[in-house]
Amino acid sequence: MGSPLPRDPIAEARHNWERHGWGDVAAPMAAITAIMRTQQILLARIETVLKPLGLTFARYELLALLSFARSGALPMNKASALLQVHPTSVTNAVDRLEHAGLVARSPHPTDGRTTLIELTAEGRTLAKRATAALNAEVFGKSGFADDDVEHLLRVLGDFRKAAGDFTD
């Protein structure tokens, strides 16, 4: 999409902020922008690894979640809550995964409102392969030093908790 820029655009932005008298918020602005950009880079790496397997990140996340579910099945609203995405996004992902034969919908035994989603054998196999690929190609080569990983987990964990992600 683009070759390396001669200058860091986020450092430039920070400089612009300071030049306009917003020095008090320039650093957090830069940090937030850097998080946005980092997410973009990581997502691109992940999608590159998943593409040959016919998966997108959204669909992989759902497969992975199901593969760890004790009972092997999850209500859609549970999946929505755990993945922290809108229910319609889950509907969308399940539609496509179901069409690809990787998951199946079934009615909840006692609650007629609820739909359960479950991995097919094929879905379970693909989830394993996708996780192995991501472990090898992305998570195992993140480029973050061990110390930095721990620090990120602490800082971002505090942030998410303060944002109301979890109460734990």
Partner DNA sequence: TCCGTACCCTTGGAAGTCCTAGTATATTGC
Partner DNA sequence: GCAATATACTAGGACTTCCAAGGGTACGGA
Which entry of a copy of itself, DNA, none binds 155, CB below 5 to 8 A by partner kind? a copy of itself
> For the range 88-92, what are the long-range contacts, defined as Cβ-Cβ under 8 Å and sequence gap of 24 or more?
89/58, 90/62, 92/58
Tokens (6 digits) for 88: 């319609």
Instruction: Give the residue, chosen from 46, 59, 63, 130, that forms a contact with DNA under the rule CB under 7 A.
Output: 59
Per-residue binding string, a copy of itself, 127-166, x by CB under 8 A, is: ----x--xx--xxx-xxx-x-xxxxxx-xxx-xxxxxxxx
Tell me 4's DSSP state: P
Rule CB under 8 A: which of 5-34 touch a copy of itself? 5-11, 13, 16, 22, 24-25, 27-32, 34
Rule CB under 8 A: which of 52-71 touch a copy of itself? 68
Rounded to the nearest 5°, which phi and psi values hold at 128? -60, -45
If binding is defined by CB under 7 A, does position 115 make contact with DNA? Answer: yes
Neighbours of 63 (CB within 10 A): 21
Q: Which is nearer to DNA, 109 or 140 (CB)?
A: 109
Q: For residue 100, with 0-12 CB atoms within 10 Å meaning exposed, 13-18 middle and 19 or more buried, which class applies?
A: middle
Residue with tokens 């209500």: 75
If binding is defined by CB under 8 A, does position 88 make contact with a copy of itself? Answer: no
Q: Which is nearer to DNA, 21 or 40 (CB)?
A: 40
- Going from the C-alpha of 76 to that of each of 13, 70, 89, 96, the distances in angstroms are 41, 15, 10, 14
Contact 10, 30 (CB under 8 A): yes
Residues that bind DNA (CB under 7 A): 1, 40, 56-59, 75-77, 80, 85-96, 105, 108, 110-115
Q: Binding residues for a copy of itself, per CB under 8 A? A: 1-11, 13, 16, 22, 24-25, 27-32, 34-43, 68, 80-86, 131, 134-135, 138-140, 142-144, 146, 148-153, 155-157, 159-168
